């Protein structure tokens, strides 16, 4: 195992960057997007979001990649996630799973994630690498190689902050979040209930009933935004010290489509937790037969408040 980790330290130190086009259409040169995608995947393994040796180019993975791009402050275009996914094949430890009957695309030919998903099921790590990624000490060592080898000291601090955001600062955060749902009379009356909470994440659900409908027979936007907002509150509480009172003086919310029945789920993630503010993104899905359809999305800024 010791020899293997040294082998992959060398491999991680020699990953090529990807060449993309900037907004002006001129080449932006080699960018560390493949390395950043690897960091995203390592953190997703650590967060138990990836549980087996197969990585699909899901919207969730792409969204986390986009957040990390913002964190490190590099210029990117929409094709960079897909290009990074393909460029990693040159590393020797990343193996693409191509769909039958589809021609292999070159990095230059890929125009976005939809094309990537239509051509490839996903990718897997070498059988000797994946066990190292599951183990925290070796995963952290390889992450360190990526952060220190391809990013500036300022960017490295920001990437470390992405992990710090999810650290548990309150051992009883699960009880605190449950109480926030139980004690909110308005939320209880709507039928909104806690589904799951983990550091930096919270999901809540509601079963649509007639009382949720507005004059057109669609679920009222207030129900949907309340579902998102309370899930976001739960996510914020999960990353702050115990006893903190969190309020959201600022939020934006966008509705994509309407629904009139079924189950709704609000899924919230902390983007960044600072000394004063916690930034949370929440999405609301209509869920049927384990299929999820995105219907709304919001961004919430929480601050600590005195009782």
Residues in the chain: 307
pTM attached to this predicted model? 0.58
| Domain at 194, CATH number | 3.10.129.10
Domain boundary among 115, 136, 164: 164
Give the helix ranges, DSSP H, for the chain: 2-12, 33-46, 59-72, 80-87, 113-119, 130-134, 136-150, 153-164, 173-182, 185-190, 221-237
> 262 with 143, same domain?
no
> 135 with 7, same domain?
yes
Q: Report the alpha-carbon distance of residue 184 to residue 175 in Å, rounded.
A: 14
pLDDT at 306: 57
Q: Report the alpha-carbon distance of residue 283 to residue 265 in Å, rounded.
A: 8
Q: Report the alpha-carbon distance of residue 150 to residue 36 in Å, rounded.
A: 9
Q: Which residues contact 290 (CB under 8 A, 6 or more apart)?
A: none
Q: Report the alpha-carbon distance of residue 79 to residue 171 in Å, rounded.
A: 40
> 145 with 221, same domain?
no
> 143 with 226, same domain?
no
Q: Report the alpha-carbon distance of residue 174 to residue 198 in Å, rounded.
A: 8
Structural domain total, the chain: 2
Closest CA to 93 of 138, 126, 123: 126
The tokens for 31 are 């960018």
pLDDT at 137: 92
Q: Residue 214's domain spans which residues?
A: 173-305
pLDDT tens, residue order, the chain (307 aa):
567 899 999 999 999 876 544 332 333 456 899 999 999 999 989 878 899 999 999 888 888 888 788 888 888 777 889 999 999 999 999 999 988 776 655 555 666 788 888 889 999 999 999 999 999 999 999 999 999 999 999 898 888 766 666 666 788 899 999 999 999 999 999 999 999 998 888 999 999 999 999 999 999 999 999 999 999 999 999 988 888 889 999 999 999 999 999 999 999 988 888 778 889 999 999 998 878 899 999 999 999 885 4
pLDDT at 103: 63
> 142 with 178, same domain?
no
Closest CA to 298 of 231, 246, 198: 231
């Amino acid at each position: 195992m010791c020899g293997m980790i040294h082998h992959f330290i060398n491999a991680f130190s020699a990953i090529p960057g990807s060449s993309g086009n900037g907004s002006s259409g001129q080449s932006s040169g080699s960018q560390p997007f493949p390395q950043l995608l690897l960091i995203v995947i390592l953190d997703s393994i650590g967060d138990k979001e990836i549980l087996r040796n197969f990585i699909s180019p899901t919207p969730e993975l792409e969204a986390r990649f986009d957040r990390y791009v913002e964190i490190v402050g590099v210029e990117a275009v929409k094709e960079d996630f897909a290009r990074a996914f393909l460029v990693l094949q040159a590393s020797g430890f990343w193996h693409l799973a191509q769909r039958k009957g589809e021609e292999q695309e070159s990095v230059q030919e890929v125009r976005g994630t939809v094309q990537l998903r239509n051509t490839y099921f996903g990718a897997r790590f070498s059988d000797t690498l994946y066990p190292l990624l599951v183990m925290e000490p070796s995963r952290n060592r390889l992450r360190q190689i990526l952060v220190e080898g391809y990013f500036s000291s300022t960017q490295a601090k920001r990437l470390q902050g992405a992990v710090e955001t999810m650290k548990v600062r309150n051992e009883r955060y699960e009880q605190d979040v449950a109480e926030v749902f139980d004690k909110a009379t308005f939320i209880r009356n709507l039928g909104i209930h806690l589904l799951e909470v983990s550091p930096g994440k919270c999901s809540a659900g509601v079963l649509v009933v007639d009382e949720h409908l507005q004059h057109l027979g669609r679920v009222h936007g207030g129900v949907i935004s309340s579902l998102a907002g309370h899930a976001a509150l739960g996510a914020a509480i999960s990353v702050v010290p115990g006893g903190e009172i969190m309020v959201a003086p600022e939020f934006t919310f966008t509705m994509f489509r309407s629904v009139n029945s079924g189950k709704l789920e609000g899924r919230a993630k902390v983007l960044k937790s600072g000394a004063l503010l916690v930034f949370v993104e929440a999405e609301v899905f209509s869920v049927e037969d384990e299929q999820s359809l995105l219907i709304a999305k919001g961004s919430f800024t929480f601050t600590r408040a005195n009782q």
